[in-house]
A and B are shown apart, each in its own frame.
Chain A
Amino acid sequence: MISYFFKLFGSVLFISWVVGTLVFFLIHLVPGDPVAVMLGDWASPADEEALRTQLGLNLPIAMQYWHYISGIFQFDLGESLFFHQPVSELIAERFPMTLQLALMALLIAALIAFPLGLWAALRAGKWPDHLSMTVSLIGVSIPNFWLGPMLILLFSLSLAWLPVSGAEQPFSWVLPAVTLGTALAAILARMLRASLLEVLHEDYIRTAQAKGLPARLVYGKHALLNALLPVVTILGLQLGTLLGGAVITEVVFDWPGLGQLLVESIQRRDYPVVQGCILVISVAYITINGLTELVYAWLDPRIRVAT
């Protein structure tokens, strides 16, 4: 298990380094002169030169790369051109909000998906199955930037139950979390159904039934626990995806998280912040995926043996 941990840690570190490198080169992908793009048409040559020095763009590219990568390890991601504040501080302010939103969405998704998936699997081929699978297919197909405004229209503007946007009021997280969690709920429900159907055909289930165990124990203890294994993996992997998907949801609900900061910084051409946000979200995503694999390996010894 320990060697598996180190192997995984190494691969997380490697991919994070690749991500850092890609993010570094992003600014060099800007068509034309990035400094001119950031400052706009009315900047004086002196201003452009000052910014170029501030960003280190006048240095040889190898030096720039070294500064950027070594800076990352000291949590130095440069300074925002708009806020005149270190990027790492801005991100530290916003990240907890995004994480909170993602966790709430995960919780809501699990609360919807488990009953739905279970119901579908236990009544496979009958109407509850068709109904819950149709519902989940619709859930996958609704884009969150449309679901969000629809929920606002219904619950905030028409019924006035929940706040429209922001994060100050007590229940302001509900609509963003539901918006972000719906697609995940749909995916989880389908996974759980498929996984349960697979398990229900296993020999040990037949044995448990033949022994005369009550259905509650057969399904609750023997089937569900084993069926949950792949679902847990998806749950973890999707938490990472939620961090990415949160970008759109945060924009819809004006939620003061990393995604909103990213999109605003794109509009302001505040590239150091753009780079920082992408780096942090990606590394968080990679780390969460690594942790999920670790949990999976801990739950299922077969994985450890295979790798």
Chain B
Amino acid sequence: MLKYLSYSIVILWLFMAIAGFFIGEHANEVVLSQFLSPPSSEALLSRQAFGSDELGRPVLERLILGAQTSLFVALGVVFFSAVIGTTIGVYSGYMGGITDKVITKIIDVFLAFPGLLLAIALAAILGPGIENVVFALVVVGWVGYARLARAQTLSLRHREHILAARSLGISTPLMLWRHVLPLILAPLGVEATFGIAGAVISEAGLSFLGLGVQPPDASWGSMIKEGTRYLLMAPHLVLAPGIALMLVVLAINLIGDQWRDSLDVKSGQKN
């Protein structure tokens, strides 16, 4: 039941992001007559279903544009972090020796940094904007994949099929691509799932601090920030993006949990 619910939420999120393309600039139109109008049951099927914000813009449409922002950032961050981190991790684990030592030290240094702080620092210095948010979160995010990929590769290094391939004279890139990567994809997939949830929260957090997406573009984080000024008069400004954010993150975490449990042989015995 929970499983279907979480998949439905994620699918709805994807649909909202796609719907964003059809709304476009329309959602940024200022309509002062609709100033802070609350959600109403009469307007259920209209643009005003979730009420309006402090500039009279429909919250529903802002929410949809925010979904697009969060999806774009999440996919970008997870894609680049996973590709960069996995490449470095697999290479390090497979090569061993001094290469592995140096890379492990670099990974340790990155892990020693409080991640969110590093992202805040980078976003602050590079200036606000969605590309800089993605860049800052990738700089922080690749380490997790690198560490996991390295550990997984280390455990595979002495397997027979690796030895066999090596004795046939296969090149290192081909070896890693064909014989190592497919075997470590599942745990990396789980990591990436949690990574999407983390990126969604981080993007909203940076936008909340004013370091992410800039107005008039919408992000759930900046919507919450703007809404806090009207908390008592118009709580729907904070409620709508907050609930959307929480549901998406919760659904992705649930999917990640289920996926991890299904991979973990031990957990089946324990419970």
Question: Chain A interface (Cβ within 8 Å of chain B)?
Answer: 15, 18-19, 23, 26-27, 29-31, 124-125, 137-138, 140-143, 145-146, 149-150, 152-153, 157, 197-198, 201, 240-241, 243-245, 247-248, 251-252, 262-263, 266-267, 274, 278, 281-282, 285-286, 289
Contact = CB atoms under 8 A, between A and B. Distances in A.
Contact of A141 (B221, B232, B253, B271): B253
B250 A263 contact: no
Given A15-B109, A150-B238, A157-B232, A29 B271 contact: no
A141 B117 contact: no
A31 B257 CA distance: 41
B39 interface: no
A247 B201 contact: no
Contacts of A252: 228
11 contacts: A19-B113, A30-B125, A124-B270, A137-B254, A146-B224, A153-B238, A197-B270, A262-B120, A266-B124, A266-B209, A282-B117
Given A142-B246, A247-B117, A149 B228 contact: yes
A247 B204 CA distance: 14
A133 B116 CA distance: 25
Interface string B234-260: 010010011001100110011001000
B210 interface: yes
A91 B182 CA distance: 49
B126 A266 contact: no
B113 A141 contact: no
A277 to B, nearest CB: 9
B115 interface: yes
A247 B125 contact: no
Contacts of B204: 143, 145
Residue from B124, B125, B221 with most neighbouring chain A CB atoms (10 Å): B125
A26 B116 CA distance: 16
Given A241-B114, A267-B210, 8 more contacts: A31-B127, A125-B271, A140-B253, A141-B250, A149-B242, A201-B270, A244-B114, A244-B115
Given A146-B242, A149-B224, A243 B114 contact: yes
A137 B116 contact: no
Contact of B209 (A31, A248, A278): A248
Contacts of B265: none
Contacts of B254: 137
Given A149-B228, A149-B238, A201-B270, A247 B112 contact: no
A274 B109 contact: no
Contact size class for B?
A: 35 or more
Contacts of B242: 143, 146, 149-150
B112 A289 contact: yes
Contacts of B197: 141
Contacts of A138: 246, 250
Nearest to A247: B120
Contacts of B117: 244, 247, 278, 281-282, 285
Contact of B224 (A141, A145, A157): A145
Contacts of B270: 124, 197-198, 201
A62 to B, nearest CB: 21
A141 B116 contact: no
B125 A26 contact: yes
B208 interface: yes
A216 B267 CA distance: 26
A153 B114 contact: no
Given A27-B125, A157-B231, A244 B116 contact: yes
Contact of A251 (B112, B114, B209, B253): B209
B113 to A, nearest CB: 6
A15 B114 contact: no
A23 B241 CA distance: 34
Interface centre among A145, A245, A262, A286, by most chain B C-beta atoms within 10 angstroms, is: A145
Contacts of B201: 143
B56 interface: no
Given A15-B108, A141-B253, A197-B270, A31 B120 contact: no
A267 B235 CA distance: 27
Contacts of B221: 145
Contacts of A29: 122, 125-126
B4 to A, nearest CB: 16
Nearest to A27: B125
A140 B109 CA distance: 26
Contacts of A143: 201, 204-205, 242, 245-246, 249
Contacts of A198: 270
Nearest to A281: B117
Given A31-B126, A137-B253, A153 B235 contact: yes
Interface in B218-237: 221, 224-225, 227-228, 231-232, 235
B127 A141 contact: no
